[in-house]
Amino acid sequence: MIPFSILDLSPIGEGESVSTALENSRLMAVKAEEQGFERIWLAEHHGMPGIASAATALVIAHVGAATKHIRVGSGGIMLPNHSPLVIAEQFGTLAALLPGRVDLGLGRAPGTDMRTARALRRSLDSGAENFPHDIVELQRYLGAPEPDQAILSVPGIDSNVPIWLLGSSVYSAHLAAALGLPYSFASHFAPDMLMDAIAIYRERFQPSATLQKPYVMVGVMGVGADTDEEANYLFTSAQQQFVNLRKNVRTQFPLPVKSMDGLWSDMERMTVDHTLRYAVVGSHATVERKLADFLSETGADELIISMPVHSIEKRLRSVEVFADVRGGLKLAA
């Protein structure tokens, strides 16, 4: 069976607190482990009232402490926001606390607006353009110590935390291929380059000490429920959130609504539908059909699912639906 994983944003639901959001992430990790998911990753975002995972390494430690064997990690750490040494120390510490379970997914976007990015970095002079060099520096801090190495990451050195490259463009595909790293593409919010990025990565992949052949994880947004009608109702939270993001309106994660009529214009509806066209929303049968088509089309080695559901009870039910589908999924040859 193809591995299924979870991407959790620690959503702060409308009317809820950060503490509730972080407790919900713990419950998601426990449920994902019970249901046989491969890993659960947390994402770095800043300045967003609807997302509680800004201090990503801390939230990873939180969910890791609540579980026993599921892999935990970042999807991802936005490396230009940080010194590579600081990230090596953080993830070296996680690897010591959770041996053999920690992944380090890296992205180059700021995960926020540029004013907040400037506050995070203090300077934007050494930003995304240094991303490839920062990855190599980070690999050195996490790898075996070199003779007379001047700077050591403690914890971190010789932890060999697996590094993944995340992306939503062909740039990341070229870089992951050149560095011989596993690659995760964010088709759940950047669908247009999906197939081109996968093709570039596979065609140009260079074997490395980390990975001998290409490995593609593809991200989708997913809402599983007992009926199509219920799933579509729950998915209106994500639709509202995308409309708000495009208007630069920052809110907590919205409650679902019976109808989106009046909440978006025709142009906004078309834009959101286009962006979320790979979303897998529905009952067991609908989810199974959509996933079979999507996985056959992409040939992905692994699927990572973001579940934008306001109610934690319904979100946990969605995890169960996707786990049930995975057990009987049949892909076209």
The one-digit pLDDT tens for each residue of the chain (333 residues) are 899 999 999 999 999 999 999 999 999 999 999 999 999 999 999 999 999 999 999 999 999 999 999 999 999 999 999 999 999 999 999 999 999 999 999 998 876 777 877 787 656 566 557 899 999 999 999 999 998 889 999 999 999 999 999 999 999 999 999 999 999 999 988 899 999 999 999 999 999 999 999 999 999 999 999 999 999 999 999 999 999 988 889 999 999 999 999 999 999 999 999 999 999 999 999 999 999 999 999 999 999 999 999 999 999 999 999 999 998 887 765
| Other C-beta atoms lying within 10 Å of the C-beta of residue 209 | 9
Sole residue written with tokens 């449920």: 31
Q: What is the pLDDT of residue 22?
A: 98
Q: Which two tokens stand for residue 49?
A: 């009232």
What CA–CA distance (Å, rounded) separates 166 from 49? 24
CA distance to 39, 92, 119, 185, per residue, from 67 (Å): 11, 19, 34, 26
Q: Does the pTM of the predicted model rise above 0.85? A: yes
Domains parsed from the chain with CATH numbers: 1-161 (3.20.20.30), 218-333 (no CATH)
What CA–CA distance (Å, rounded) separates 281 from 222? 6
What CA–CA distance (Å, rounded) separates 38 from 211? 18
What CA–CA distance (Å, rounded) separates 89 from 86? 5
Q: What is the pLDDT of residue 184?
A: 98
Which value, to the nearest 10 degrees, does the dihedral of the CA atoms of residues 47, 85, 105, 48 take?
0
| Contact between 93 and 62 (Cβ < 8 Å) | no
| Contact between 43 and 1 (Cβ < 8 Å) | no
